[in-house]
Chain A
Amino acid sequence: MLSYLIRRILLVLPVAFGVSVICFLLVQIAPGDPLTAIMAIDATAEEQAAMRAAYGLDKPLPIQYAIWIGNLVQGDMGKSIATGRPVAAEVFGAVKNSLLLAVSAAVIAFPIGIFLGFLAGYFRDTWIDRAVTALSITGVSVPNYWLGIVLVIIFSVNLSWLPSMGAGPGGSQSWAWDWAHMRHLVLPAVTLAVVPIGIVSRTVRALAGDILSQDFVDALYAKGMSRVDVLRHVARNAAATALSVMGLQLGYLLGGSILIETVFNWPGSGFLLSNAIFQRDLPLLQGTILILALFFVAMNLIVDVVQAAIDPRIQRT
């Protein structure tokens, strides 16, 4: 298991390198001048040149990459052009908030998805199956950013039950696990949960259906096991795959919450990213994407390792 772990971790390195190259290139393909946003609106040419030099944007590309990666290794992701704050601090703060949202959405979505999927898989080709399938297809078809707006109108504006934006009455830094804060989480988390509910329930349905059609299920009944026992076996068989799907979904939730975070003004990485895009704050854009991608890579790694740990069929050497 240890050697598997080490091998898996080493395999991540080239991917991480590739990720860094893509993130670096991302800034290079961007047209326009990244400094526009912060330059005084009528700054002179010299002022602009000075500014460019100050941000190191006047050096040749490979050198910029070398400098960038060198700093990166030391945990320095540069400074935000728009705010001048270190990108690393900004991104980590935001990722923390996104994680809070993503995990909350997962906590809503996964149990529901698993339950519905199991139900549909077990009662294959019955009305229950069809109902669940309809629900999950709806889940993956609905543009969730639009759903978010609708929910805000209903629950915040019209009913005044839940807040429409922000991460708590005092902002994200004073986050606490009380209702005053968690109220803020409800709408975005529910909105974000809709797609993974659909995906997880579809996956689990397919998995459960697959497993139930395997021979060993017959064999289990043949040795006198009850339905409950059989379901236990099915669950255990589905666990590894289901977990990996959910792990990936968590990654997608984290990386894909940008639209939802924008709708709900949730101070997460997606929100940061959209700010970075509109302010053309390229170091910040780069840093956010890099961290999210690396996080996703790490997530995949964890998923793989966990999967290997719980699924005896996977070779662990």
Chain B
Amino acid sequence: QGVLRVGMTAADIPLTTGQTDQGGEGMRFMGYTVYDSLIEWDLTSADKPSVLIPGLATEWSVGEDELTWTFALREGVTFHDGSPLTAEVVVWNLDKLLDSEAEQYDPRQSAQGKSRIPAVASYEAVDDLTLTITTTVPDATLPYQLAWILMSSKANWEAMDKDWEKVAMAPSGTGPWKLETFVPRERAELVPNADYWDETRIPKLDKMVLIPLPEPNARAAALLSGQVDWIEAPAPDTIPAMTGNGFVISSNAYPHNWTWHLSRLEGSPWNDIRVRKAANMAIDRESMMPLLGGLMVPAKGFLPPSSQWFGEPTFDPSYDLEAAKALMTEAGYGPDNRLTVKALISPSGSGQMLPLPMNEYVQQSLAEVWIDVEFMVVEWNQMINLWRAGAADEAVDGANSINFTYFIQDPFTGLIRHLDEGLIAPNGTNWGHYIDPEMQALFEEIKTTFDPEAQTAVLQKTHEKYVNDALFLFVTHDVAPRALSPKVEGFVQAQNWYQNFSSISMAD
């Protein structure tokens, strides 16, 4: 029971029609609350990395051709408006994103969802509860891709005059929460869906209120003055004030990293593995802790150490100044022959943690091993443009690295997209123009290994190569801190971008 008021970091209520915007936070609060996808993340445990579990699909398998996937849909699932979930509705939803000719095509949702399912070639409703999806090439990561795609109600859309804008005000999904009221930019109120198909996830609260509070200090003040019960991402320096007043900080490792993505274009100093390793070993990550109020996990690789795909890399990027200097000397650098690199950073940005102080820390650390860093500070939006443009673009102005924070929850987002030679700009986000046949082969293997366990092994191997070759400057992982009023009970923070709010209740 009770009402949970959440201060989000978004500036606006995420898109309510199905496929959400506002990044991870959108999916967290407006995606997996109001909607479901065919395949979902298991959010019940705080102790282990989340894995995929059946959502609206109960089973799935790939055919002999390694292209055609068959999904069995869950029986008896209804949307909030009462209409049933059928294979046809799923097809309708996929058309909403992929078929620009379709009546229900929504450019806004498409912009958010289409790129998440690059593998999908075609799809078909076999019967009410059976669906097939065909991929262009064999791709074992399809389940991960489908975990992005949320199902909205076709009946509701029709009832709303086939107008997505109207749907936005009164959306209908199959999720555990129903959107009750919605004031753009101000608040959204969610109430439990008592008919939710998974009884264990029927919310205990009477209501959950979402309030956009983009400014961290406004968020802190709102929590401390009792206007909200929960805030996302409290500013580290406000945490003592919160804990001092009895508020609870909840955090957990999750697939997020804070790195420098390195340019591997010809002439880049980062092409020398010794320099890469030395840089990684020059950073005393533990000493960064106080800056972030302890809310970080020092990086040991690209993925968080707790990831199921971490593997057992041989290279340990932990702080070792002597070894780092030795490597630098070997590479031909020294106090009198310093290396200068140029780094793109932004002053702020979602998920960037505290980019300026952290980067300055990195700068100071690298200076110890004779690497002088010259910053090029650009707005977060501009940085996204430069990230898409790739290291070779003129606008990047010769920067050798870009400080980026990545969502690394699945094989594609976590590993493939950063270093796949097919994804060099303008085709994708291999910013550094990295090309390595060995890595390419590993990516291929991931896509063609359909057995989950075998796939995990390949993924581990891939990440080991990430680390052993020191392909990035690994710095930290965020721990998704959130500050909670002591009245909030029953919250289990999963090691995931998304969270389960159904277990929460408010003490009186």
* Residues in A lying within 8 Å of B, measured CB to CB: 31-33, 36-45, 47, 50-51, 54, 82-85, 90, 93-94, 149, 152-153, 156-157, 160, 163-167, 170-173, 262-265, 267, 271-272, 275, 278-280
Residues B35-59 near A (CB distance < 8 A): none
Closest 7 CB pairs of A and B: A156-B225, A164-B221, A171-B186, A171-B183, A45-B426, A40-B115, A157-B224
Interface size class of B (residues with CB under 8 A): 35 or more
Kindly list chain A residues whose C-beta atoms are within 8 Å of the C-beta of B186.
166-167, 171-173, 267
Q: Are A42 and B428 in contact (CB under 8 A)?
A: yes
Task: Specify which chain A residues have a CB less than 8 angstroms from the CB of B222 in the assembled complex.
Answer: 164-166, 265
B115 near A43 (CB under 8 angstroms)?
Answer: yes
Contact of A279 among B11, B168, B388 (CB under 8 A): B11
**Total of A-B residue pairs, C-beta within 8 Å:** 122
Q: Is B382 an interface residue (CB 8 A)?
A: yes
Picked from A50, A153, A160, A264, the residue with its CB within 8 Å of the CB of B226 is A160
Q: Min CB distance, A126 to chain B, in Å?
A: 42
Known: A165-B218, A272-B185. A47 touches B211 (CB 8 A): no
Q: Is the CB of A51 within 8 A of B107?
A: yes
B195 to chain A, nearest CB (A): 26
> Which chain B positions have C-beta within 8 A of A265?
213, 215, 218, 222
Given contacts A43-B115, A45-B426, A165-B213, contact A36 B384 (CB under 8 A): yes
Residues of B within 8 A of A (CB): 11-12, 15, 21, 23, 100, 107-108, 111-116, 164-165, 168, 183-187, 211, 213-215, 217-218, 221-222, 224-227, 379, 381-382, 384-385, 388, 417, 426-429
**What would 12 A/B residue contacts be, using CB atoms closer than 8 Å?**
A40-B113, A41-B384, A43-B115, A50-B107, A84-B165, A90-B184, A156-B224, A166-B186, A170-B187, A171-B186, A265-B222, A280-B381
Taking CB as reference atom, which chain B residue is nearest A184?
Answer: B227
Contacting residues, chain B, for A51 (C-beta < 8 A): 107, 111
A156: contacting residue among B21, B215, B221, B426, CB under 8 A: B221
Are A166 and B227 in contact (CB-based, < 8 A)? yes
Neighbouring A residues of B114 by C-beta, 8 Å = 40, 47
Q: How far is the CA of A41 from the CA of B111 in the complex (A)?
A: 9
Say whether B218 contacts A275, CB under 8 Å. Answer: no
Q: How far is the CA of A263 from the CA of B384 in the complex (A)?
A: 27
* Contact residue among A38, A44, A163 (Cβ-Cβ distance under 8 Å from B115): A44
Of chain A, the residue at the smallest CB distance from B164 is: A84
Quick one: closest A residue to B406, CB to CB?
A41
Residue of A nearest to B384 (CB): A36
B12 touches A32 (CB 8 A): no
Q: In the docked arrangement, what's the CA distance between A248 and B180, Å?
A: 41
Tell me the complex Cα distance, A43–B187, Å.
Answer: 29
User: In the bound complex, what is the Cα–Cα distance between A7 and B168 (angstroms)?
Assistant: 45
| A34 (CB) vs chain B CBs: closest residue | B381
> How far is B15's CA from A82's CA once the two chains are assembled, in angstroms?
9
Q: Which of B184, B384, B427 contacts A83 (CB 8 A)?
A: B184
Specify which of B111, B186, B214, B429 lies most central, judged by the most chain A CB atoms within 10 Å of its CB. Answer: B186
- Other than A42-B428, A262-B215, give 6 A-B pairs with Cβ distance below 8 A: A36-B384, A85-B184, A93-B184, A153-B221, A171-B183, A278-B214
